[in-house]
Amino acid sequence: MRLKDKVALVIGAGSGIGRAIGVRFASEGALLAAADLVPETSQETARLARALGGTAEPFPVDVTKREQVRSLMELVESRFGRLDVLVNSAGIAGQGRIEEVPDDLWDRVVAVNLSGVFWACKYAVPLLLRAGGGVILNLGSVAGLRGWPGSPIYSATKGGVVMLSRSLAAACARENIRVWALCPTAVDTPIVERLFAEAPDPLSARKTYEANEPMGRLITSDEIASLAVYLASDERFAYTLEPFVV
């Protein structure tokens, strides 16, 4: 019960990494606010968390609408009395060569992957300060560290998440707010499955991709959730600016 009685808001909790983190947080004793664009998916995440004996409530949010993000923070604080942990996991893919992608795809991916994280951090920090400190976990990507072939938009937004996290970590460290950007390589999520499904031979595309991964396979959402629990817990460790990207 490493997160016992901590109030954790997971945005993008409806599937994939966000769902895995939310359910694991609740099983570790956190009071979970599961937020997602699709109400049915956040409701299912809350149900799964409660089935494990956790406490969880679903909340709807469109992270591209700053007022909805602001209202979400107010609702969470009103319902639970505080906020201790924020997880920004909402994200979408942005595939294609730069000269071929539709213009509006840039606007959409930036709005979800980067601006949505910015709004959530902006409106969560005052709540964390009122709680005496806390943790922000932003889902970045290895694509934001070294670029990803055929995905300039996604790489650009995840690079923005990394630097936003570094800057915020430096600004808030003395106020007892820890900020991390988790930067995994490809994770076995519905988004990645859809990308494979678009290939002429989905099974072959997956095998080829996995063969080039460091472990010869995709990372699982549960593996990311295990790291998130540790970073969100009160287990003490010293760190400098460099390890803010995990």
122-164 pLDDT tens trace: 999 999 999 999 999 999 999 899 877 788 999 999 999 999 9
List residues with catalytic annotation: 154
Confidence (pLDDT) at 30: 98
97 vs 28, which has greater pLDDT? 28
Task: Look at 47-56, 178-187, 207-216 and tell me which has the smallest mean pLDDT.
Answer: 207-216
pLDDT reported for residue 190: 78
CA 217 to chain centre: 21
pLDDT at position 75 is 97
Quote the CA–CA distance of 208 and 116 in Å, as a whole number: 33
What share of the chain has pLDDT > 70, as a percent? 96
How far apart are the C-alpha atoms of 246 and 244, rounded to whole Å? 6
Residue 239 has pLDDT above 60, yes or no: no
Number of domains in the chain: 2
Do 33 and 124 sit in the same domain of this protein? yes
User: Which of helix, strand or coil describes residue 62?
Assistant: coil
In whole angstroms, what is the distance from residue 13 CA to residue 26 CA?
Answer: 12
Structure tokens at 45: 């995440």
Residue 232, pLDDT above cutoff 80 = yes
Q: How far, in Å, CA of 181 to CA of 27, rounded?
A: 23
pLDDT band at 207 (very low <50, low <70, confident <90, very high): confident
| pLDDT reported for residue 32 | 98
* Residue 204 lies in domain: 187-218
Distance of CA 133 to the CA centre of its chain: 19
> With 70 as the cut, is the pLDDT of residue 51 above it?
yes
Q: In this model, does residue 42 exceed pLDDT 80?
A: yes
- Res. 176 pLDDT band, cuts 50 70 90: very high
- pLDDT above 80: residue 115: yes
Contact between residue 142 and residue 184 where contact means Cβ atoms under 8 Å apart: yes
pLDDT value of residue 243: 46
Note whether residue 242 is domain-resident: no
90-94, 165-169, 237-241, range with the lowest pLDDT? 237-241
Same domain assignment for residues 85 and 123: yes
How many Å apart are CA 226 and CA 7, to the nearest integer?
A: 17
Q: Does 95 share its domain with 210?
A: no
CATH of the domain at 75: 3.40.50.720
CA distances from 73 to 9, 70, 81 (A): 9, 5, 11
How do residues 55-66 score in pLDDT, each as one tens digit? 999 999 999 999
Query: Locate tokens 């072959």: which residue?
Result: 204
88 bridge partner residues:
11, 138
Residues 176 and 192 in one domain: no
Phi, psi of 166 (to 5 degrees): -60, -45
Q: At what angle do helices 190-197 and 202-211 cross, to 10 degrees?
A: 120
In whole angstroms, how far apart are CA 22 and each of 62, 88, 223, 233? Answer: 18, 11, 13, 14
Question: Is the per-residue pLDDT at 191 higher than 80?
Answer: no
Same domain, 156 and 195: no
210 and 168 co-located in one domain: no
Give the per-residue pLDDT at 241. 45
